[in-house]
Amino acid sequence: MEQFDELVRVMARLRSPEGCPWDLEQTHSSLRPYLLEETYEALEAIDAEDWARLCDELGDVMLQVVFHAQLASERGDFDIGDVCNGIANKLKRRHPHVFAEERAETPDEVIDRWEKLKREEKGYEDRQSALDGIPEALPALQRAHKLQKRASRVGFDWDSIEGPRQKIDEELNELDEAEADELEHEVGDLLFAVVNLARFLGVEPESALRRANERFSRRFQAVERAAGSAERLAAMDLDEMDQLWERAKTEES
């Protein structure tokens, strides 16, 4: 707690009249991109299993939390103590199997009770749809996954994996038959169907695609190195490039 208090004091000093000109002009809105950026940098450290870097990146994420809390305290809205108390109380309230006498034996039971308790809390009573409360600002892939999971909880789901697999085939056929002005619509449906298959397999699609991006980057850069120069790579035909690609895959594995 001493270290956390020191961070809060440093942030307050930066926002004081004797503080930093850049920090003094920030608002909740201006800090928005930094909160998102720092979160993704923490995710990159987790993907790389670089725990020293993760320690550093979590500090950057925490800075954003403390920064927003400092801005709010100056307006009289809330302070960092309210933030900490709020989340601690929420955790205790939504874990009655830990902090009270109720029981939950499986992760699924925990999730079901979490959602039930959340619906009973203040601010949730006006929600009419199972999909209410999913942030529209989420990355599209992640939001699709959350939408599907919410719908599944009320029984809107296939009985077996054959359902989402067949849906992908159906969407591919529709894409093949689509007119030019229908392509975006059909590609969106296809992506949504692939997310559904990932959900059915227990795969988090945002993480899966992020790792696929990293694999592609590593292998393509290996192809570039093997070619020797951008000019030589551009002069190759697709078969030659594919040979270098397969070599990069083999070396990586």
Task: Give the Cβ contact number of residue 57 at 10 Å.
Answer: 20
Contacts with 54 (C-beta within 8 Å, 6 or more apart), sequence order: 42, 45, 46
pLDDT of 144 strictly over 90: yes
Confidence at residue 177, expressed as pLDDT on a 0 to 100 scale: 95
Confidence at residue 87, expressed as pLDDT on a 0 to 100 scale: 95
Confidence at residue 120, expressed as pLDDT on a 0 to 100 scale: 76
For 46-58, what is the mean pLDDT? 94
Confidence at residue 118, expressed as pLDDT on a 0 to 100 scale: 75
Confidence at residue 136, expressed as pLDDT on a 0 to 100 scale: 87
pLDDT of 6 strictly over 90: yes
Confidence at residue 193, expressed as pLDDT on a 0 to 100 scale: 96
* Torsions phi, psi for 205 (to 5 deg): -65, -35
Q: Cα–Cα distances in Å, from 248 out to 66, 221, 235? A: 44, 9, 19
Confidence at residue 124, expressed as pLDDT on a 0 to 100 scale: 64
- Could you tell me the two tokens for 20? 């930093």
Where residue 39 falls among pLDDT bands split at 50, 70, 90? very high
Nearest-angstrom CA–CA distance, 211 and 54: 17
pLDDT of 57 strictly over 70: yes
Question: Is the dihedral angle over the CA atoms 212, 139, 194, 158 positive or is it negative?
Answer: positive
Confidence at residue 220, expressed as pLDDT on a 0 to 100 scale: 93
Which pLDDT tens digit goes with each residue over 42-51? 988 998 899 9
Which pLDDT tens digit goes with each residue over 91-143? 999 899 899 888 888 888 888 887 778 777 766 666 678 788 788 888 899 99
Confidence at residue 126, expressed as pLDDT on a 0 to 100 scale: 65
Confidence at residue 75, expressed as pLDDT on a 0 to 100 scale: 96
Which pLDDT tens digit goes with each residue over 153-197? 888 999 999 999 999 999 999 999 999 999 999 999 999 999 999
Closest C-alpha among 119, 116, 120 to residue 97: 116
Mean residue pLDDT across the chain: 91
Confidence at residue 122, expressed as pLDDT on a 0 to 100 scale: 66
